Chain A
Amino acid sequence: AQTVTQSQPEMSVQEAETVTLSCTYDTSENNYYLFWYKQPPSRQMILVIRQEAYKQQNATENRFSVNFQKAAKSFSLKISDSQLGDTAMYFCAFSPEGSGNTGKLIFGQGTTLQVKP
């Protein structure tokens, strides 16, 4: 079975500092996609960043970057220069590619991040 594990239920960081959220996954697929979604208190799910498994280069979106280690099946999210608006729950998600791909996502349990002023 394909699973996604986020081992940090809660984290906190001081404003302007850097924080890294961990995610590991288990799959026998060779090609797949990985995502980080943010869920602020408003409950709206927002895509933060995504990575294709066949690309070795780590994805970057402004202050957000990932450390993708395919062999270790690890996909961590680094937030630089943390802002109060980054306070949210963050979900790591996996989507397999291949025949019959339906685009469905498998989510981790989530990490609640609090940015302190």
Chain B
Amino acid sequence: NAGVTQTPKFRVLKTGQSMTLLCAQDMNHEYMYWYRQDPGMGLRLIHYSVGEGTTAKGEVPDGYNVSRLKKQNFLLGLESAAPSQTSVYFCASSRGTGWGEQYFGPGTRLTVT
């Protein structure tokens, strides 16, 4: 099992460009999450999904969109990148209850110049 994978691992964008981050999990988990990690602020939830075809906003959703067309994939889109979106992005998945461990991907380091 690969667990949770993220594509790409690194990316540099210019302000105004768009991109999509792909998260894939092979554990048949219902719930998936996108977080961003910034120095001194821990991880903050951007969007999440509680099942195929569903998405919801987290703590810091502005400037991002998501889609969950297939259960195993969760896409995070930046339509018009801004320097404030420079961060490390983590995807996670879980079986679905509060007790359920979240399994994290390796992260994507995104720099917006």
**Cβ of A102 and Cβ of B56 under 8 Å apart?**
yes
A103 touches B42 (CB 8 A): no
Q: Mostly helix, strand, loop or mixed at chain A's interface?
A: loop
Q: Taking the complex as formed, is B97 at the interface, i.e. its CB lies under 8 A from any CB of chain A?
A: yes
Contact yes or no, B90 A104, CB < 8 A: no
CB distance from A95 to the nearest CB of B (A): 4
How extensive is the interface on chain B, given as a class? 20 to 34
In chain B between 8 and 62, which residues have their CB closer than 8 angstroms to a CB of chain A? Answer: 31, 33, 35, 40-45, 48, 50, 56, 58
Among the stretches B69-77, B79-87, B98-106, the one at the interface with A is B98-106
Binds B, one of A14-22, A64-72, A75-83, A105-113: A105-113
A108: nearest chain-B partner, CB-CB: B42
On whether the beta carbons of A44 and B106 are closer than 8 Å, the reply is yes
* Cα–Cα, bound, A103→B100 (Å): 7
Flag if A45 contacts B90 (CB, 8 Å).
yes
Shortest beta-carbon distance from A90 to chain B in Å: 11
Number of residues of chain A lying within 8 A (CB) of chain B:
26
Are A103 and B107 in contact, CB atoms less than 8 angstroms apart?
no
Which of A4, A50, A102, A108 is B99 in contact with, Cβ under 8 Å? A50
Determine whether the beta carbon of B48 is less than 8 Å from that of A102: yes
- A101–B56 Cα distance when bound, in Å, is 13
Instruction: For the complex formed, measure the closest distance between the CB of B87 and the CB atoms of chain A, giving whole angstroms.
Output: 12
Tell which of A44, A105, A109 has the most Cβ of chain B within 10 Å: A105
Q: For A9, what are the chain B residues with a Cβ–Cβ distance below 8 Å?
A: 40
- A6 smallest CB distance to B (angstroms): 8
Interface string of A1-33 (1 = CB under 8 A from B): 000101001000000000000000000000011
B99 close to A52 (CB less than 8 A): yes
- Chain A, residues 78-94, CB within 8 Å of chain B (1/0): the string is 00000000000001000
Please, could you name 24 A-B residue pairs with CB atoms under 8 Å apart, sorted by A?
A: A6-B42, A9-B40, A33-B98, A43-B88, A43-B106, A44-B104, A44-B107, A47-B101, A47-B102, A50-B99, A91-B42, A96-B98, A97-B99, A101-B98, A103-B31, A103-B94, A103-B98, A104-B58, A105-B43, A105-B102, A107-B42, A107-B43, A107-B44, A109-B42
